[in-house]
Each structure stands twice: as C-alpha cells, then as structure tokens.
C-alpha cells in the first residue's frame, strides 16, 4: 500500500499542509461579513441600498437612550444633548441624527420627562452598519458629562448578536473538547487511539479556516460560518476516525498484521467514510441554491470541513496507524473491556428482529407525536429578545419600547427610483392617497406632504386623530419629525414612509406589504422595511426549497442505490430521515417558539416565532448527519448480506457491530454541536439544541430501532432492483 510505504512522507506533507493552512487562516474572523440573511436581489434589499446611496437615510436603526442628572431642559443638559447629537450626526457612516434637544419633538422625551432619545440612521452594507454601530457603542455608551447614555436599535442589536456569538463559540469549544475527549476514551479505552480523531479534527478545522479566508477575498462569507466549521469539524472528523480506527483495531485483534489490517480497513470502512462524506457534502450543497450569503457561506464552510475531515481520515490517519501499528492499543484504561457480540446492541438487535412490526409502529407513533407541534410553526423578525436578559442593549431596547412606543414599530418604506419631478407629480399624490386608505395604515409621509385616511394633514391633526383611537399618541408624528430633514426625493425618484402600528412579524403586517405591492403605482415601486424583509425571505426560501430538496433527496437516492444495490433501501432511508427531522423540528417549535421546557436548554426569551433561515440551515445539516449514520449501518449490513445472503442475520449483525460505534459517534457530534446551546444568543442556542437532538434521535430511535425493524419486515425486498438498475449497479457500484 502506498500510504504504508510512504507513511512518514504522508505525515510530513500533512504537517506542512497544516502549517500553511494555519498561516493562511489566521485572523480569518476579521475578513468575514455580518448579516447575509436577505436575498440581495429582493425588493427589500434594494430599498435599503437606495435609501443609503441616494436619499441619505431611511428610518432610524440606532437609538440612544439618554438620562440626565437634572431636568432635560436644564441649560447644561440641553448643551450636552445638542453637542452629542451633532457628534453622532457627524460620525462616519451616519446619515443623520436627531434628538429631543435638536428638534423639540415631545415624543422624543419620555412621559415622566426623565429620559430622551437620540435617533440616527446608519448607512452602508449590513457589515458596515454593524461596524459603525460597534464603533458608536464603544465611543458613546456610558457617561457623557451630565448624561448617561445607553445604545440600542437594530444596528447595535445585530452587532452585539454577532460579537457575542464569537465569544460564545470560544467558550463552547472549551466546554466540548474535554467532554469529547472523555467520550473517545470510553469508546476506545486507550489514550493513543482516543487522541487520533482529535488530531484529524484540528487538521480539518485549520484547512477550512484557510478556505474561508481565501473565499472571503472574492465573495461575502458570513462570520457564522466559523460556528458550523468548528462544531462540524470536530464532530465529523471524530466520526470518520472513530469508524476507521475501530475497524483497524478489530482487524488487528483478529490476528492480521498492520499492512493487511489497514488494507481491509480502507477497503471496507474507508469506502464507507468516503461515501458518507459525499452524502454529507451533497446535503450541505443544497444550501447553495439559496441566494442569501448567510446560507451559502455555511455551505462553503460545511463542504470544506467535511472534505478536510475525509482527507484527514483517509490519508493522514492511515499513515499514523501505519506508524503506530500495535502501539495504537497503548495506554489502555484499566477498567475498559472490549465489546462482545453479546453486548447491549446484539441483545437489542435480537429483540428488534423478533418483534419488528411492534417496534416500527411504536417508534413511528412516538416520532409523529413529537412532530405535531411543527404544524404550528410561525416565522418572524429577530429583535432584542434574541439577546440574553440583562444585556445592556436589550435592557435599553426594553426601556425604549416601554417609554417611547414611537419606536416599537418601524414604517414600511416604498421607493420609486424612477419618478422624476416627484414633488410636482399629480400621479404621486393619487398613489400616496391610496396608500393612506389601506387597512392598518396610520400615516403616510412623502415628498408632497403627510396623509392620513385619504387626505393631507399636518402633525397637529394627526396627533388628534391618534388620540381618538390609537393607544400610543404621536407615534408616527415623532418618526416623521425624526426624518424630517431627509430628502424624500431627488432628481430621479422618491421614497415614501408608510406607518402602521402592526407588529412587523404579524400576519396582518405581511398582508399589508402584499397590498402595497399590488397597488398600482405611477412608476415601478420597491417595498422595504422589517416586514417586507421577512416576506422576501419567506418567498425566496419557499421558491428555492424544491430545488434544495431535489438536490438532497435525488443525490441521496442515487448514492444509496449505488452503495447497496437495492431500490427500497434508499427510499426507506429518505423517508425515515424526513420523519426523524420533522420530529426534531416539532420539538424545536415546542421549546423555542412556544417556550416550553426552557429550563432544559438554558435561559432565553421565546418570541412566538422562529427566524426563517434557521430551519433551512438545520434541515440540510441534520439530513447529512443522519445519512452519515445510515451509511455506517448500511455498510456493515450490506457487507454481511453479501457474505451469506440472509437478510435477518445481516441486519442483526450489522446493528450489533455498529450500534456501539454509532452511539459513540452520535454522542461526540451531539456534544460538538450541542456546545452551541451554551450560547446566550437564542439563535445559536436553537441551532445547538436542534442539531444535537436530531443526531441523538436519529442514532437511537431511528438507526437503533426503526431502520432495522423496517429492513427486517422488508426482507429480501431490500435488495431488489429491476434488471436495468441491477446492471447499472454492477457497473458503478461501491461494492462488488
């Protein structure tokens, strides 16, 4: 074998590659981008760019909550407030800044007259907005003369979410590494064997960081890719290595020398690892069909880390095993006992074989019960509640929401980029009047004035109207005053602020966006704002989901057929995967949307909805991981079936030989991914809990019980295929 003969050269080459990758990947965090959860071609994304580039603003996305030691109208406080407002307005990346002291608008002062607001619009890309927010937080949060300043708003909230995510990732690694090491020690029983998978994990993560650094030079790569890289890197590297090392030790224990043991290991377990890696990469590649670079970045990172994990397991690890030989058994723990065929998994397999129908019905019923909450899934816009209770940015947001309801809801923004002479356009007037008549619209501000319920009004009239029926007086008045100095029009077009008191994530708010988009306009109209962004995200995900499903399911069916030669097995695997994942998503809705069992996963605030891109991400990752265990199980079952042709014995033997291995691998992956659940950020917590739960449910209920039961019931039908497909399999099969 080449790797046996060139083992030292292979290890030297791996060391050089690791060193080079580490040098290239160092500091990768500073080159990654923020945001990326919006389709860049969607109306809402174009509106954001146009407001920044052409009109110099939009609705405020940074809010400073200011408290004074004395009266807000004290001369010293007034002077300090005006100076601070000008300083913020003159900061780089800020389109405007207004305050109670610069405008005199009472709605920018709390009802008890103890707090006031400075509102600002940060412009640029998502990354630039977050960078500006971070700089302003560092510069102004805290004490400023007689003022105590707190900062919040969508820009600072998103900045802090990403900043805390990076810190939480580092903490998760410190927690998960020793637990992973302990699981490997228990699984292998020797210090040397347990250390090899960790080395492969470090190798795969270093290589992926280098790939992300190179990709960041030519395209946007989300900073959240690092979270997936680290978790999947250790999880899959350990997964693949565990399978190979276990088979190598099994062969050496049977009396084979190092060369023959490695040859057998790579021909059997090595093929399985290669096939498993292909399956996981194809599942993750489905994320590439979505236009959001948040999802595409996670595909880049996931595919790269799986590829490097496979390279490490199939080339670096065999070279290390060739060097170690029998010494791989060194450092045996005194209490460790090698597994026997009469262990737990053999006994479990025997019981499943005796009562396959009962096991299948019982497990399916349980999974369906877990899946039921998924029917009530809702989607919404992430806000300050994604931060942990007590976070300064969240605390400030809660105070603003309580004392300044004017900023609880942001307007829908409509941009007509190609409407010259907008200020004198009679068509624009008719359009604005029509907008003001739509249900739930409380005010429309434009270049030609302010409108309410089909007529033009001034601010005093609107405050009277609000006082007659609205819960929060002067809400839209204050928003309009805050952006009064902006250009509502330029020589080429105009923009309009459509105010409403609807929750941006509500069904009525989404219906309003649809009505605005359907309303005839004097020129092509683009609709933006929080609700429009949510609508666009859901539309993009819904339109691309069939293509993603086709990539995942089609590739899985094809590869599993080539792997097993049976037509039923691939469809069985896909069906069980979908059932398992639906049950996992049902549990996520039950916990994170509805708020049940929160004490199990740590403190967070349920918002009554889920962020729409997260289930998409989790489905692709979890589907790939589930197929990983399916391949491990099928590889041994197929090997046994080809040896003697007895389906029942093959299924039971395959489960007995791989059950312990799959359990250990699943625990490692669950710990690596579940480490994200220690994050204080609810999105990362949900990803960690969801993926860990998906892995554990799949490795126990599905691979340990349901899959063997279904294969036992199917009998020889598992391996049936029509003549043309049998000939195709004979030509391209992974096993001959």
- Read off the pLDDT of residues 377-386 as tens digits, 9 standing for 90 and up: 999 888 888 8
pLDDT at 704: 87
Q: For residue range 663-673, what is the model confidence (pLDDT) as tens digits?
A: 888 888 888 88
Instruction: Report pLDDT for 468.
Output: 33
What is the percent of the chain with per-residue pLDDT over 70, rounded to a whole number?
92
Buried b / exposed e over 478-490, threshold 16 CB at 10 Å, is bbbbbbeebebbe
Q: Which of 641, 621, 640 is nearest to 577 (CA)?
A: 621
Mean pLDDT of 478-500: 70
Question: What is the predicted pLDDT for the residue at 37?
Answer: 78
**What distance in Å separates the CA atoms of residue 281 and residue 304, rounded to the nearest whole number?**
8
Judged against a pLDDT cut of 50, whether residue 485 lies above it is answered with: no
In this predicted model, what pLDDT tens digit does every residue of 514-528 receive, in sequence order? 999 999 999 999 999
pLDDT at 346 over 80: no
Tell me, what's the pLDDT at 574? Answer: 92
Q: How large is the average pLDDT for residues 664-689?
A: 85
- What pLDDT band is residue 406 in, cutting at 50, 70 and 90? low
Supply the pLDDT for residue 484.
45
Q: Taking 70 as the threshold, does the pLDDT of residue 730 lie above it?
A: yes
What was the pLDDT predicted at 126? 81
Instruction: Tell me what pLDDT residue 371 has.
Output: 94
pLDDT at 216: 84
CA distances from 437 to 196, 434, 512, 525 (A): 68, 5, 11, 18
**pLDDT recorded at residue 1:** 60
pLDDT at 405: 67
Task: List CB contacts of 271: < 8 A, sequence separation 6 or more.
Answer: 635, 734, 735
Across 170-174, 256-260, 321-325, 700-704, the highest mean pLDDT is recorded for 700-704
**pLDDT of the residue at 454:** 86
Higher-confidence residue of 405 and 222: namely: 222
pLDDT digits (tens, 9 = 90+) for 170-189: 787 778 888 888 888 877 77
261-287: burial string, b at 16+ Cβ within 10 Å, e else:
bbbbbbebbbbbbbbbbbbbbbbbbbb
pLDDT of 228 > 80? The answer is: no
Q: What is the pLDDT of residue 473?
A: 34
The whole-angstrom separation of Cα 513 and Cα 524 is: 15
Identify the pLDDT of residue 502: 86
Q: pLDDT tens-digit profile of 23-50?
A: 998 878 777 777 777 888 899 989 988 8
pLDDT at 463 > cutoff 60 = no
474 SS3 class = coil
What tens digit of pLDDT does each residue of 83-100 get? 999 999 999 999 888 888
Give all domains of the chain, ordered by start, each with its CATH number: 1-31+189-332 (1.20.1640.10), 62-152 (3.30.70.1320), 358-378+547-736 (1.20.1640.10), 411-528 (no CATH)
Could you count the other beta carbons within 10 Å of the beta carbon of residue 347? 12
Tell me what pLDDT residue 467 has: 37
Q: Does residue 459 carry a pLDDT above 60?
A: no
Q: What's the CA gap between 285 and 683, in Å, rounded?
A: 22
pLDDT at 102 over 80: yes
pLDDT of residue 431 exceeding 90, the answer is yes
Mean pLDDT of the chain: 84
Per-residue model confidence (pLDDT) at position 258: 82
440 token code pair:
């739930």
Sign of CA dihedral 576, 577, 578, 580: positive
Greater confidence (468 vs 109) lies with: 109
Rounded Cα gap, residues 10 and 72, in angstroms: 72
pLDDT at 54 exceeding the cut of 80: yes
| Distance, CA of 511 to CA of 692 (rounded, Å) | 36
Residues in the chain: 736
Overall average pLDDT of the 305-310 stretch: 90
pLDDT at 342 over 70: no
Mean pLDDT of 116-122: 90
- What would the mean pLDDT of 323-350 be, rounded to a whole number? 70
Mean pLDDT (whole number) for 583-591: 93
Higher pLDDT, 282 or 33: 282
Sheet holding 115-122, edge to edge: 94-99, 115-122, 62-68, 147-152, 142-144
Q: pLDDT-based confidence at 249, cuts 50/70/90? A: confident
């Amino acid at each position: 074998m080449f790797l046996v003969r060139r083992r030292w050269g292979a290890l030297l080459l791996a060391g050089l590659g690791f060193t080079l990758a580490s040098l290239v990947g160092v500091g990768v965090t500073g080159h990654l981008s923020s945001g990326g959860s919006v389709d860049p071609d969607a109306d809402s994304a174009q509106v954001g760019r146009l407001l920044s580039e052409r009109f110099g603003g939009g609705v405020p996305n940074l809010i400073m909550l200011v408290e004074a030691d004395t009266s807000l109208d004290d001369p010293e406080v007034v002077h300090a407030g005006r100076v601070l407002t000008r300083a913020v307005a003159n900061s780089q990346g800020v389109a405007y800044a207004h305050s109670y002291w610069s405008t005199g608008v009472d709605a920018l002062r709390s009802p008890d007259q103890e707090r006031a607001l400075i509102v600002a619009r940060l412009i640029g890309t998502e990354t630039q907005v977050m960078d500006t927010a971070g700089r302003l937080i560092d510069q102004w949060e805290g004490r400023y003369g007689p003022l105590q300043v707190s900062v919040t708003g969508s820009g600072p909230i998103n900045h802090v979410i990403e900043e805390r995510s990076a810190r939480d990732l580092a903490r998760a690694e410190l927690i998960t590494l020793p637990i992973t090491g302990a699981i490997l020690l228990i699984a292998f029983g020797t210090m040397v064997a347990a250390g090899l998978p960790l080395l492969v994990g470090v190798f795969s993560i270093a290589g992926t960081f280098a790939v992300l650094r190179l990709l960041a030079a030519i395209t946007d790569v989300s900073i959240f890719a690092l979270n997936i890289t680290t978790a999947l890197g250790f999880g899959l590297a350990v997964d693949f290595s565990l399978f190979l090392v276990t088979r190598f030790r099994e062969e050496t224990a049977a009396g084979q020398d190092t060369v023959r043991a490695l040859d057998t290991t790579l021909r059997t377990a090595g093929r399985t690892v290669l096939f498993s890696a292909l399956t996981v990469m194809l599942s993750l590649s489905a994320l590439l069909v979505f236009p959001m670079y948040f999802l595409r970045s996670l595909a880049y990172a996931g595919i790269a880390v799986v590829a490097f994990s496979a390279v490490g397991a199939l080339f670096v690890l065999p070279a290390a095993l060739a060097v170690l030989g029998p010494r791989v058994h060194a450092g045996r723990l005194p209490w460790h006992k090698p597994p026997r065929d009469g262990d737990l998994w053999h006994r479990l397999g025997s019981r499943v074989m005796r009562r396959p129908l009962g096991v299948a019905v019982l497990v399916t019923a349980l999974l369906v019960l877990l899946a039921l909450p998924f029917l009530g899934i809702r989607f919404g816009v992430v806000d300050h509640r994604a931060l942990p209770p007590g976070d300064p940015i969240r605390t400030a947001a809660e105070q603003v929401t309580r004392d300044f309801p004017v900023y609880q809801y942001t307007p829908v923004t409509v941009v007509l980029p190609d409407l010259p002479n907008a200020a004198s356009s009679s068509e624009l007037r008719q359009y604005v009047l029509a907008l003001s008549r739509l249900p739930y619209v409380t005010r429309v501000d434009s270049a030609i004035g302010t409108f309410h319920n089909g007529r033009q009004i001034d601010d005093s009239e609107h405050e009277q109207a609000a006082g007659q029926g609205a819960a929060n007086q002067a809400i839209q008045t204050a928003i309009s005053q805050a952006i009064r100095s902006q250009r509502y029009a330029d020589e080429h077009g105009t923009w309009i602020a459509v105010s409403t008191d609807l929750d941006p994530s509500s069904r009525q708010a989404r219906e309003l966006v649809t009505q605005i988009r359907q309303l005839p306009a004097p020129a092509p109209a683009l609709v933006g704002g929080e609700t429009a962004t949510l609508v666009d995200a859901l539309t993009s995900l819904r339109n691309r989901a069939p293509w993603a499903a086709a990539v995942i399911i089609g590739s899985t069916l094809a590869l599993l057929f080539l792997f097993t030669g049976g037509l039923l097995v691939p469809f069985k695997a896909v069906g069980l995967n979908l059932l398992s994942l639906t049950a996992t998503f049902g549990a996520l809705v039950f916990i994170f949307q509805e708020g049940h069992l929160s004490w199990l996963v740590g403190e967070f605030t349920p918002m009554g909805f889920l962020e729409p891109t997260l289930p998409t991400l989790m489905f692709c990752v979890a589907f790939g991981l589930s197929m990983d265990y399916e391949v491990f199980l099928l590889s041994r079952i197929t090997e046994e079936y080809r040896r003697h042709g007895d389906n029942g014995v093959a299924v039971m033997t395959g489960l007995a030989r791989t059950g312990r291995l799959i359990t250990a691998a699943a625990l490692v992956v669950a710990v690596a991914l579940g480490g994200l659940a220690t994050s204080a950020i609810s999105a990362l917590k949900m990803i960690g809990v969801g993926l860990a739960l998906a892995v554990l449910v799949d490795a126990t209920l599905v691979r340990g019980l349901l899959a063997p039961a279904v294969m036992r019931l199917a009998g020889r039908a598992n391996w049936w295929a029509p003549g043309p497909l049998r000939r195709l399999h004979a030509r391209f099969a992974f096993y001959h």
